A and B are shown apart, each in its own frame.
Chain A
Amino acid sequence: MAIHIENLTIGYRRRRDAKVVARGLSASVPSGELTCLLGQNGVGKSTLLRTLSAFQPPLEGRVSLLGRPLESYSIAELSRTIGVVLTEKSDLSNMTVRELVGLGRTPYMGFWGRLSREDLLRVDEALALTGITALRDRMIQTLSDGERQKAMIAKALAQQTPLIFLDEPTAFLDFPSKVETMHLLRRLTRDTGRTILLSTHDLELALRMADRLCVMKEGLRVGTLDELSADGTMAAFFADRGIGFDPSRKAYTL
């Protein structure tokens, strides 16, 4: 199992108390697959991803990545284990795509931040895998949202981590770019054996492309679409929104 969580409570610690976002989360995500995290707005998808990336400590419960407890990882080890693509839109400018992807090599750099031959090789490889080799000398501020998202994914690839977490990588993209991005991520799990976990609101795409779904609603359920359709999780996920789910066709009905 790439990710294993047990009775996890996530949220924010405040001075005296804590603001709990979600509690009682338990799940296992297998290696080398594309897993889509689904859930309503505010259910805590981002908080869960932030907790799994060790940006914030869990309030209770345990997380283990690749069989090791999360808290046993040092910052340096984490940077070689998890790559992230976040929703925060960075206002980067005057930086080429290649320089950005090069920053993904930071965990392997020496003190002065100079890229070695190996680093440059990995950067080119990441650019090729994401299909943006032609954009490598463009400035970030001149890219479209979809191209920028691919550059961030290339950055995470150059980081050479077994795990990649993406927080809503398809938001703000036009439909073809959404499909392209999902295809790309799916292909990466196949070609490079990486474990990719992403949160998304694009249900249709998630149902079609994900190896496994991770449904966040009063707890966490992980399974293939077949499994979750059969045990009623998908139907329950849509039920109170007035949306039907047809388990035989494995599609939602309006």
Chain B
Amino acid sequence: MKRRGWLMPALGAAIVVLGVANLLLGSVDIPFRAVLDILFGGGDDTSEVWRNIVLKSRLPQTLTALVAGAGLAVSGLEMQTVFRNPLAGPSVLGISSGASLGVACVVLVSGAGGHALSRMGYFGNMAMTIAAIGGALAVMALIAWVSQRVRGNVTLLIIGVMIGYVANAVIGVLKFFSVEEEIRAYVIWGLGSFARVSGDQVMFFVAAMCVLLPLSLLLTKTLNLMLLGDGYARNLGLDVRRARLVVIALSGVLTAVVTAYCGPVMFLGLAVPHLCRGLFATSDHRVLTPASMLCGAALALLCNLIARAPGFEGVLPVNSVTALIGAPVVMWVLFRKRKNDFAE
């Protein structure tokens, strides 16, 4: 941890650079000076079009990617610790599936009822967000309820995965009875995107995450004890059942909120904690929690940048980019770790 002290500031710097790049780069060429003028006022010669692009598209997107990446990464870290399973992440436990089910219900059922949400604009977006949070929280409540009743984390993990399957099956049935247009609206939501959060919603989203993210820092001691396993944690004074409930609830809410606004973004939550453990060579959550936030934010910004790169715009969904970057990262970390284990 001491040897790697420079990494934290480096991650911070990476976020700044990537954030600026997200504001500067895009399909429309806007000079650096003009972007600065638009952001900080001054210089009246900037065109209205540029102003709109920066303030209504690029800035919300950058902020969304920033907090969504941090949220998913921390949520993944917490899940991996509480379930003591390296494959746990926001998309297991069926929480993302719950959000998807909520959205599917609203989008597909409304289509069947003749009030196509996909054509309702702002109100439609709002309804989708609420539906996603509702679906995710419902599944989370179910998981939390189950977590108080079953022994063993593997059982709980498997139940979570099963709930995911059930949700997907219900979505499948809903799709079968839906209009094609509505299915498309649902599929697009399912691809994940940092761009869909519009200007006025972004403030609400960022504010919510600014409240939720620091809460994770309060769980540092709890999470460190959980690394030891239930028996040792309990012996060292942790109320394991309550702690499990609190951690699952917090990481669940984080996932739910992010998924509601950005769709189910895959892989960030799984890959970033592994990346951080590899980079910082520690399991200590005093380091890992902030590191995951920074690393997740940086990676989300990078993915958003790639997804928007010339030639791709509007074509490449964020989910594909996160998977393309995330999967090799996880493999690299695992291979490297193996080699070190043998070396010592």
List residues of A whose CB falls within 8 A of some B CB.
53, 55, 75-76, 78-80, 82-84, 86, 88, 90-95, 99, 103-104, 106-107, 109, 111-113, 139, 141-142, 155, 159
Contact = CB atoms under 8 A, between A and B. Distances in A.
Contact of B283 (A86, A95, A155): A95
B239 interface: yes
A104 B236 contact: yes
A86 B235 CA distance: 10
A92 B221 contact: no
A94 B232 contact: no
A20 B337 CA distance: 45
Nearest to B281: A94
A92 B283 contact: yes
Interface stretch (B37-45, B100-108, B157-165, B222-230): B222-230
17 contacts: A55-B231, A78-B237, A79-B237, A80-B237, A86-B231, A90-B228, A93-B283, A93-B337, A94-B282, A95-B282, A99-B282, A103-B236, A106-B221, A107-B236, A113-B221, A139-B344, A159-B236
B221 A84 contact: no
Nearest to B228: A90
B341 interface: yes
B225 to A, nearest CB: 6
B195 to A, nearest CB: 36
Given A55-B231, A84-B232, A95-B283, 13 more contacts: A55-B235, A78-B237, A82-B235, A84-B235, A90-B229, A94-B281, A95-B227, A99-B282, A103-B224, A103-B225, A106-B221, A112-B286, A113-B221
B341 A92 contact: no
A88 B237 contact: no
B277 interface: yes
A156 to B, nearest CB: 9
A90 B282 CA distance: 16
Contacts of B232: 84, 86, 88, 90, 155
A180 B228 CA distance: 24
Nearest to A167: B231
Contact of A84 (B231, B239, B337): B231
Nearest to B235: A84
Nearest to B344: A142
The 5 residue pairs across chains A and B that have the minimum distance between CB atoms = A79-B237, A113-B221, A94-B283, A106-B236, A142-B344
Contacts of A88: 229, 231-232
Interface in B173-205: none
Contact of A106 (B229, B231, B237, B239): B237
B119 interface: no
A113 B237 contact: no
Nearest to A53: B235
A246 B192 CA distance: 76
Contacts of B221: 106, 109, 111-113
Contact of A83 (B235, B283, B284, B337): B235
B229 A113 contact: no
B220 interface: yes
A107 B221 CA distance: 11
A157 B284 CA distance: 21
A78 B235 CA distance: 7
A112 B220 contact: yes
A76 B281 CA distance: 31
Contacts of B224: 103, 113
A93 B341 CA distance: 10
A65 B239 CA distance: 20
Which of B235, B282, B337 lies at the interface centre, i.e. has the most chain A CB atoms within 10 A of its CB? B235
A104 B224 CA distance: 11
A91 B84 contact: yes
Interface string B261-293: 000000000000000010001111010000000
Contacts of A76: 237
Interface string B227-259: 111011011111100000000000000000000
A202 B282 CA distance: 36
Given A55-B231, A106-B225, A107-B236, A95 B284 contact: yes
Contacts of A113: 220-221, 224, 286
B237 A75 contact: yes
A93 B227 CA distance: 9
B228 A103 contact: yes
Nearest to A77: B237
A106 B228 CA distance: 12
Contacts of B234: 55, 75
Contacts of A111: 221
A94 B278 CA distance: 9
Nearest to A161: B235
Nearest to B231: A86
A155 B283 CA distance: 17
A109 B286 CA distance: 14
Contacts of A79: 235-237
B82 to A, nearest CB: 14
A75 B137 CA distance: 30
Contacts of A107: 236-237
A107 B282 CA distance: 22
Contacts of A53: 235
A113 B284 CA distance: 11
Nearest to B222: A113
B338 to A, nearest CB: 11
